Amino acid sequence: MVVFLLRDEHLVPVERTLAAGRVVVTAAVESLLAGPTDEEARPAGGSQGLTSAIPAGTSLLGITISGAIADVNLSGRFATGGGSASMFARLAQVVYTVTQVPTVTGVTFRLDGRAVTTFSSEGIVLSRPSERADFRANLPPIFLERPAWGARVSSPVRLQGLANVFEAQFQAEIATADGTVIAHRAVTASCGTGCWGAFDTVLAYRLDRTQSGWVTVYDLSPRDGAREHVRSYPVMLTSSP
């Protein structure tokens, strides 16, 4: 199970453990509303820690699913504080967290039981179920959805996500905690340079013991070859044969 938090105002999938017997969608949203843990909020790897645009104290009042649409009922606190960027970000966090369930493609919102068609004083129109594509502006240019931040991985590691970069090409690598690169490859998304394309690739590595490490994706500047659009997630690398 993952929840979607923020870094640099962009969505980041974060691995969370699901309590036995819990309904996945309900447990995921409740975990999302709890915000980042102290460890997740701590700067790491030269980058700032994770945050959330959802106001502390927001409560989940219920979720019902009909067909492919989830109706999420949150306390009124969800609509308080922040400007338009914060409002779009918190909606995106909920939509992406709920739609990780393959059968759910859209989300409608309620606040204290009342259906929401216009969200917050910013006047965000929610006249139809919200879908992931409505919040592409909240994604980084290279959006690595799998593996998630904090995931435990094994070789070969499967990398999946979306990218909107020059000529659809970017780089992916796996490194140990000390920065030693143990796997690298160039990746080509299905579309790029002004459009979002999907990617699905694998990186194989060799390690003789389980240890912490990083999965990183980045683009190379067409001007000077410098790294840009860098996204790094801490992971646990299991030993390989």
Q: What is the pLDDT of residues 159-209, one digit of tens each?
A: 999 999 999 999 999 999 999 999 999 999 999 889 999 999 999 999 999
Confidence band (pLDDT; 50, 70, 90) for 40? very high
Residue 54 has pLDDT above 60, yes or no: yes
Note whether 95 and 104 are within 8 A (CB): no
Note whether 135 and 143 are within 8 A (CB): no
Q: What are the residue boundaries of the structural domains of the chain, listed by start?
A: 2-138, 142-237
Task: Tell me what the mean pLDDT of segment 49-67 comes to.
Answer: 96
In Å, how far are 77, 115, 231 from 215, measured between CA atoms?
35, 40, 8
By the 10 Å C-beta count (0-12 exposed, 13-18 middle, 19+ buried), 194 is classed as exposed
Using alpha carbons, select from 51, 33, 34 the residue that is nearest to residue 42: 51
The Cα–Cα gap between 44 and 48 comes to 6
pLDDT in tens, 97-140: 999 999 999 999 999 999 999 998 888 999 999 999 999 999 99
User: For residue 121, what pLDDT is reported?
Assistant: 85
The Cα–Cα gap between 117 and 124 comes to 8
In Å, how far are 51, 101, 135, 143 from 48, measured between CA atoms?
9, 29, 22, 17
User: For residue 20, what pLDDT is reported?
Assistant: 56
Q: What percent of the chain has pLDDT over 90?
A: 86
User: For residue 71, what pLDDT is reported?
Assistant: 97
Using alpha carbons, select from 115, 237, 112 the residue that is nearest to residue 183: 237
- CATH label, 142-237, candidates 1.10.10.10, 1.10.287.90, 2.60.40.2550, 3.40.640.10: 2.60.40.2550
- Global pTM reads 0.95
